[in-house]
Amino acid sequence: MAIQQNEPSPRIPLSRERVLRAAVALADERGIDELSMRKLGQQLGVEAMSLYNHVANKEDVLDGMVDFVVGEIDPPPTGTDWKTAVRERALSARRALLRHPWTSRVLESRTTPTPMVLEYFDSMIGLFRAGGFSIDLTHHAMHAMGSRLFGFTQELFDDSNNDLDPEAEALMLQTMATHYPYLGEMALAISHDENSVVGQGCDDQFEFEFALDLLLDGLERLRDRARISQ
């Protein structure tokens, strides 16, 4: 005979999973600015301090929330050409972000990408590579996909807050290559000089102009086509 209670999910024990789910739900309903550890605890019928048994701190919660959304992105379709595969993936990502509109702002505040985010990028790189793109062009393509052309290029790997020594750096690159083969391949190709670090060797100015010119050229072509057909 189960005892009925009005409390939200009363008997289910707290867990990281449950905390993150509640955080996503709260942000979806009330906005990310309304998310606080205290309100999150309240939502789970628990004091805020209890959350720290399942989660390191609020930053950890935010990381977990991003992972939750990234986890909702469909895996790349199989048996199609690279273009529809990349296309479907980007559209699926867009749908996930539309379901959780706070994600882009939270993403912008993250300093280091989580494994899930890296996995998403890695598989996206894999699609380009499988489509016959050179490492170099794939690299530019990835930057172009993420850039905002009103003045801002999203840096995938911000190397400015990097306090690792070269050996640790090389080791990290090594282990990364085993988990994210395409990311590793690209990182290696980009930084094959002495002081090589992941993301260094990215000429962000070049990448910005690459995406910008790709768009401008495409737009010009469309304009001229419209003129001719008139």
Query: Residues in the site for its own copies, rule: CB under 8 A?
Result: 73, 83, 86-87, 90-97, 103-105, 108-109, 131-134, 137, 141, 144-154, 208-209, 211-220, 222-223, 226-227
> Residue 9: which region, alpha, beta or left (left: phi > 0; alpha: psi -120 to 50)?
left
Residue 168 interacting entry, from its own copies, DNA, none, C-beta within 5 to 8 Å by type: none
Contact indicator for 115, 108 with CB cutoff of 8 Å: no
* Closer CB to its own copies, 44 or 118, in the complex: 118
Contacts of 93 (CB under 8 A, 6+ apart): 73, 120
- Which span (48-56, 84-92, 143-151, 209-217) binds DNA, by CB under 7 A? 48-56
Distance of closest approach, residue 104 Cβ to its own copies, in angstroms = 5
Distance (Å, whole) CA 91 – CA 99: 12
Distance of closest approach, residue 9 Cβ to DNA, in angstroms = 11
Q: Secondary structure of the chain: what % helix, strand, coil (to 5)?
A: 65, 0, 35
Name 148's bridge partners.
152
> Which DSSP helix (H) or strand (E) runs through 171?
helix 166-179
* Closer CB to its own copies, 113 or 184, in the complex: 113
Residue 109 interacting entry, from DNA, its own copies, none, C-beta within 5 to 8 Å by type: its own copies
Interface residue list for DNA (CB under 7 A): 13-14, 35-39, 41, 46-50, 52-54, 57-59
